[in-house]
Structure 1
């Protein structure tokens, strides 16, 4: 565990404030352009360390929202706070082709192949988006990028990958053609047997009432399944022999939902007015399709501070020995982007988030 300096948000009422405390100051992150401004982190935590490091992160430089520099860079850390490029590596690891730009990077570790898989999007001048994959056995040398999904612009925003059973799952946000000015967005999923050939998109049921979901990140909480329970609706749950379904959002009962399959956490940045003013929300699922969401944000902007405008794409890790979740979050204040980290006890966090708003599993 590492020590953090955090403070409660001062810019919102207790009802509107996020459950987790905001970081007092951002982390110092090296970037190829020297600005130290970054966005959209995706972190894989290893135990024991992988290729010499506990934490591997992909992040994009984004100085003053300049998309020309928004290219994936790989960083490593022993403690989750102090970051550097891996020895022998070069950043950014990918650059755009002419008349395109890169964005929305997401890192996934494949246990079977013992490889890091990096997914990101490439947007072209013809208003189409490609999801690109490149892989590495050491975090230094990356394969030739290959296109795995092709779609109109804003129909596959922020792809994020995890594995459920024997299949790979990719979730992304569909904002139609309007991007972050869309009146509504929805989260879709695709499945694959190899991480390259993906099914047609299907809808999840996750919503955030009063908000539009914009950027997401999904993490499997491998060791969570026997450790957490929530109230369930006594007269509506379905018992399939392994899990009780449906939360009681009105009446507390003695029945408890106990996860017996893998648990997946989604961090979703969502906005009510525009995508420069996001809050961060948590959702949970055991199947990748049906999600438990909460009306109270996990984290909100701390007005007047380094993270005062928006809490953007974020990533998390869970320590089952201490029940602590660690959230690394990118944030905007004015036109400056930085990365911060905060922590909280998972059980306390879920208690503070209250009973879910709608049926999940």
Structure 2
């Protein structure tokens, strides 16, 4: 039986308090290749704010996500969009969505969970995404520059078992030419773990290490939650990586909120949660009134001002994307 419980009611941990930021009043319109305009799992790069480049190939903002009409994973294929204001999105010239396809379903396999990072050495965007089937679990990568490359496998388990599920919703940070970091969710049952990998080139990745809090436990369980799909960005001035996680209350798995976490650069497997209020909650009656899902964000001046693009599902089963912004601070 599927639970449909109000997060602000019995099953939401009351001690967490109200959300820090307001929800988007209306969703953005994203022109998906199959025509539904239903989307999930964004990853956004603001080239001006993050890389000091006013535009890259003619656009300030680049975003990868997947269509997900009424949770149909046969359309959950990585798709690329561009914008100059972060609100109105179009398909970039010379790009045809989707970037990769899969049949859908566990038997034949489906795509999911894209993440995107810019490599200034190669002047290219790398898009990572998962392919999962009964027979294999794979992390694939596509390069975007003047041309779009074919996907290549960077992590592959075939056959795979539960312990191999350790890069769900991968979030990747290129610290430098030879220092690449990846965090991702894991396990098949709650509480879901968080796992870290290191790479010298963003292609060959070391074995995963489980992440814990400063007491050696799960970073979110003490607050009554478990991580599901997270995203990350670097805060170079403070020497830390910042995470926003779609996390589930342990009492109502499947009903997501957005929580904050962070780690020091020198301790990438130790995540702390100094901000104990949810950044975002589902609304009572808006377009995002059932569950929030994976988001992407940028850090503005002072590194406590957040621009957030978040996916969410309504109680009618419709998936959309919203944008909000504001200060996320301790206290």
The normalised TM-score by structure 1 is: 0.77
Residues 231-252 of structure 1 show CA distances to partners (whole Å, capped at 9, x for unaligned) of: xxxxxxxxxxxxxxxxxxxxxx
Q: Which residue of 2 aligns with 1:75?
A: 81
Q: Which residue of 2 aligns with 1:50?
A: 56
Residues 88-144 of structure 1 show CA distances to partners (whole Å, capped at 9, x for unaligned) of: 211111112681110000011112211100100001122x31000111213xx3212
- Going from structure 1 to structure 2, the CA distance change for 1:142 and 1:275 (only over 3 Å counts) comes to farther
- The answer to whether the Cα contact below 8 Å between 2:33 and 2:97 also exists between their aligned partners in 1 is yes
- The answer to whether the Cα contact below 8 Å between 1:117 and 1:135 also exists between their aligned partners in 2 is yes
Give the Å deviation of 1:184: 1.4
Aligned pair count reads: 295
Structure ID, larger Rg: 1
Q: Which residue of 2 aligns with 1:214?
A: 228
Give the Å deviation of 1:317: 0.8
Give the Å deviation of 1:319: 2.1
Q: Which residue of 2 aligns with 1:63?
A: 69
Residues 52-82 of structure 1 show CA distances to partners (whole Å, capped at 9, x for unaligned) of: 1000000100000000000000000000011
- Going from structure 1 to structure 2, the CA distance change for 1:322 and 1:147 (only over 3 Å counts) comes to closer
1:270 to 2:250 alignment: no
Q: Distance in 2 between matches of 1:97 and 1:290?
A: 38
Q: Which of 93, 101, 109 pairs up with 1:100? A: 109
Q: Which residue of 2 aligns with 1:336?
A: 318
Matches within 5 A, 1:121-136: 121-126=130-135, 128-136=136-144
The normalised TM-score by structure 2 is: 0.84
Q: Secondary structure at the match of 1:64?
A: helix
Matches within 5 A, 1:316-355: 316-320=297-301, 324-334=305-315, 335-345=317-327, 349-351=328-330, 354=331
Matches within 5 A, 1:150-299: 150-151=156-157, 152=160, 154-165=165-176, 166-175=178-187, 178=188, 182-206=189-213, 207-209=219-221, 210-222=224-236, 225=237, 259=238, 261=239, 263-272=240-249, 273-287=251-265, 288-293=268-273, 294-299=275-280
Q: Which residue of 1 aligns with 2:281?
A: 300
- The answer to whether the Cα contact below 8 Å between 1:129 and 1:156 also exists between their aligned partners in 2 is no
Residues 25-76 of structure 1 show CA distances to partners (whole Å, capped at 9, x for unaligned) of: 1111110111110000000110221111000000100000000000000000
Give the Å deviation of 1:208: 0.8
- Going from structure 1 to structure 2, the CA distance change for 1:21 and 1:14 (only over 3 Å counts) comes to farther
Unaligned 5+ residue runs, structure 2?
1-6, 49-53, 214-218
Q: Which residue of 2 aligns with 1:86?
A: 92
- The answer to whether the Cα contact below 8 Å between 2:141 and 2:152 also exists between their aligned partners in 1 is yes
Residues 185-224 of structure 1 show CA distances to partners (whole Å, capped at 9, x for unaligned) of: 11111111111111000122251121111101111134xx
Q: Which residue of 1 aligns with 2:51?
A: none
Q: Which residue of 2 aligns with 1:20?
A: 21
Q: Secondary structure at the match of 2:17?
A: coil
Unaligned 5+ residue runs, structure 1?
1-9, 226-258, 355-361
